[in-house]
Each structure stands twice: as C-alpha cells, then as structure tokens.
Chain A
Amino acid sequence: MKLTIQINEGPYQHQSADSAYFFAKAALDKGHEIFRIFFYHDGVNNGTRLTTPPQDDRNIVSRWTELAQEHDIDMVLCVAAAQRRGIVDDGEAERNGKDATNIAPGFRISGLGQLVEGGIQSDRLVVFGD
C-alpha cells in the first residue's frame, strides 16, 4: 500500500513524532511504500539539524534523516509553517534575507500542495497529532 504520513506536532513536546517514526518503520518493514512524509504545524521542528538532545535520549531529527536516506523517502516541511517557526534552507535564507540555515539533511521545504498531492496519490493518508 502507498502511504503519505502527516506529522503535526513538534519533537519531544509530543509523542506524535515518535509514533509516526515507529509507524513508518513498521510500514516499510511490512513492504508498504511511503510516498511522502509531510511535516506541518509545529511538526516542521522535526527538521532542524540544530537539535541537540541529551546523549542518553533519542535524536528524533537524525533518526528521520537516517530513515529517509535508508529508504529514499521524500520528507517535506511546509514552507508557510517553516517560515513562521524559523526553519530555513538555502533558498529560504536567500529569499527572506536570513543569515543562517538550519534544515537537516533529508528534508526539503515546499508548499502545502505537496500534502494535498500526497492525499491524492496515496492509498492512505495517516495523520499524527492532536
């Protein structure tokens, strides 16, 4: 089955990033395809490489990066949500005159159309969040 996963909550604050990660892993293990993982609302905070959790805790961001690289998954941060919350890639830094970037490897910033397209193209849209 082809899946799109939407994550609406930030890491550490809320379990949805963890639940979505384990769901994604389990789905891939069962042979399902992940068309896209779309991060919305505070979920865009899953995509900052500046995250530095304590050493004895899970690193949610690098965990996503590794999953995406291992399985070639398209991970998209909503541009409007990312702009509000200060998640920046090279293009956004240039467009908005910012002096730094913080996007983590494996993520890209794009529009909400990518979420709607995920709903259209996938057999299931699975949403994690409140």
Chain B
Amino acid sequence: MSDTKKFLYINRKAPYGTIYAWESLEVVLIGAAFEQDVSLAFMDDGVYQLMKGQDTSAIGMKNFSPTYAALGDYEITKIFVEKESLEERGLTLDDLQHLVWEDEDEDWAEKDSIRLVSRAELGDVMAEQDVLFNF
C-alpha cells in the first residue's frame, strides 16, 4: 500500500486575533517532512493570511507572514485561493504575496504557487483529497 496521501490544509481565519493560522502553518511545515501530496487552501478570512506588507508592530505579535514565501522550499507548490472570498473582502491577487516555487524538472524555473479558484472549483479540490485539515 502506498503511504502517500493527498493532504489539504484549509485556512479559514484571519492571521491574528486567534492562533489558528500560525499553528496551522506549524503543522504544514512539520508535515512537509512526511513527503505527502500537500496542498493549501485559503478561504473566508483566511485569505488575509497571505496579504503582503503585513505589519504587526502595533499588536506586539510576531509577523509570521514571511514564512509563506518559504513554502516553495518545502515543496509545497499548490496554494489555492478562493476567488469569492477575495472579492467579498475587496481584495485581488495583487494584494497577496507573490508566492513561487522552483521546478527542478525545468531547470529550476520559477512558477506561481497560487491558483485562483472559484468556490465550486475549491469544492472539487476538497473532494479529491484523502485528508482535510481545517484551521
């Protein structure tokens, strides 16, 4: 039996205010060592986690948003962002960090990690998974 499963980490909450976003990222980073087929999804207020230019100095909390830019190094290359969640919040992809990964098979060509998907398409992505983590 193959031990490789399709994992999807679903991030639904704002980055600060509660610890869910940060502790979700901790699972993602640890889980990367298990060599599973990992995807991340950002929906609802979770899309705020990927905002560029985050500044937490006024709330006395660690700004962990630079960590998302390292996901490519952990071979996490599929980051789904739900289109409706962005639109409902007046955001576009330009408001988010530009996340990339390097494709070893194409001479380390830099490729976009973020895939903008509709709510219905994200539902299809979820249906394909073996394990859903919901944070």
Which residues of A does B touch, CB under 8 Å?
A: 6, 8, 40-41, 80-81, 84, 111-113, 115-117, 119-120, 125, 127, 129-130
In the complex, chain A residues whose CB is within 8 Å of the CB of B7: 116, 119
A111 and B30: CB pair below 8 A?
yes
B23 and A125: CB pair below 8 A?
no
**Binary A-proximity of B15-37 (CB < 8 A = 1, otherwise 0):** 00001100100110011011010
Tell me the minimal C-beta distance from B17 to chain A in angstroms: 12
- A123, closest chain B residue (CB): B130
A112 and B133: CB pair below 8 A?
no
Which residues of B does A touch, CB under 8 Å?
A: 3, 5, 7, 19-20, 23, 26-27, 30-31, 33-34, 36, 130-135
Residue pairs across A and B with Cβ atoms less than 8 A apart, 17 shown, are: A6-B133, A8-B20, A84-B19, A112-B26, A112-B31, A113-B30, A113-B31, A113-B34, A116-B7, A116-B30, A119-B7, A119-B133, A120-B36, A125-B131, A125-B132, A125-B133, A127-B133
Tell me the minimal C-beta distance from A80 to chain B in angstroms: 6
Tell me the minimal C-beta distance from A127 to chain B in angstroms: 5
In the complex, chain A residues whose CB is within 8 Å of the CB of B30: 111-113, 116
A120 and B23: CB pair below 8 A?
no
Q: Can you list the 6 inter-chain pairs with the closest CB atoms, starting with the nearest?
A: A119-B131, A112-B30, A116-B31, A116-B34, A125-B131, A112-B27
Given A111-B30, A127-B134, A40 and B3 contact (CB-CB distance below 8 Å): no
- B5, closest chain A residue (CB): A120
Tell me the minimal C-beta distance from B119 to chain A in angstroms: 20
B26 and A80: CB pair below 8 A?
yes
In the complex, chain B residues whose CB is within 8 Å of the CB of A129: 134
CA distance A69 to B11 in the complex (A): 34
Tell me the minimal C-beta distance from A90 to chain B in angstroms: 23
